[in-house]
Amino acid sequence: MANAADAEAKSPLSPMAALDSLTVSDIPAAHKDEIPRPSTQLAGLNRLNDLDQLNQVVGLVSPLFGFVPNIR
């Protein structure tokens, strides 16, 4: 039991790492690189959120600099 506690202290359980490994657990090794990992997909969503925040800031300051407003 002490060994299990030591193992947990060295490598904490990461939900994303567990989900990534489950995603490709039944896929043949030759094709594992073709499957997108959930962590990669979520990172893409975070970048999309960053772009949305940038768009909001540009929308606020564009009238100050005479830029054409963003058409939605």
Domain ranges within the chain, ordered by starting residue: 2-24+35-65
Residue 5 is predicted with a pLDDT of: 53
d(CA 70, CA 72): 6
Q: Is the pLDDT of residue 9 over 80?
A: no
DSSP letters, 41-68, are: HHHHHHHHHHHHHHHHHHHHHHHHHTPP
Residue 11 is predicted with a pLDDT of: 65
Residue environment code for 9-30, b if the CB has 16+ CB neighbours within 10 A, otherwise e: eeeeeeeeeeebeebbeeeeee
What is the pTM assigned to this prediction? 0.48
Q: Predicted confidence band at 8 (pLDDT cuts at 50, 70, 90)?
A: low
Tokens 């960053």 belong to 50
Q: What is the pLDDT of residues 16-69, one digit of tens each?
A: 899 889 888 888 989 988 988 999 888 888 888 888 888 888 877 777 777 655
